[in-house]
Amino acid sequence: DAGITQSPRHKVTETGTPVTLRCHQTENHRYMYWYRQDPGHGLRLIHYSYGVKDTDKGEVSDGYSVSRSKTEDFLLTLESATSSQTSVYFCAISDGRSPTEAFFGQGTRLTVV
């Protein structure tokens, strides 16, 4: 696997609490992505980053914010978790030289109760 680490790997949290998921890479890739994966929807892009402090929204960004203060870390924050945000979250990275080959992390299973 490419050097991508997601943490935590599993989390259970209560509705209304803030949650931060971390994606850490050792590949020095420029592009980083957060996806969520749900039954019947496949992978949906939440936010992505094209450089330090440069981020943009994806298809399902409502209720999520991101930050990238250094190349290796991309944080996804749920400001006030809701049950609809129960999902498996995947981080991905891309170097941009190949526009298509993204490398994915192992995923984080988040349950909001």
Interface contacts to other proteins, rule CB under 8 A: 9, 31, 33, 35, 37-45, 48, 50, 58-59, 88, 90, 92, 94, 96, 99-109
Q: Determine contact, residues 26/72, Cβ cutoff 8 Å.
A: yes
Between residues 45 and 75, which has the closer beta carbon with respect to other proteins? 45
Question: Tokens 């006030």 identify what position?
Answer: 80
CA 88 and chain centroid, separation: 10
What are the backbone angles phi and psi of residue 19, rounded to the nearest 5°? -135, 135
Between residues 16 and 56, which has the closer beta carbon with respect to other proteins? 56
Shortest reach from residue 86's CB to other proteins, in Å: 11
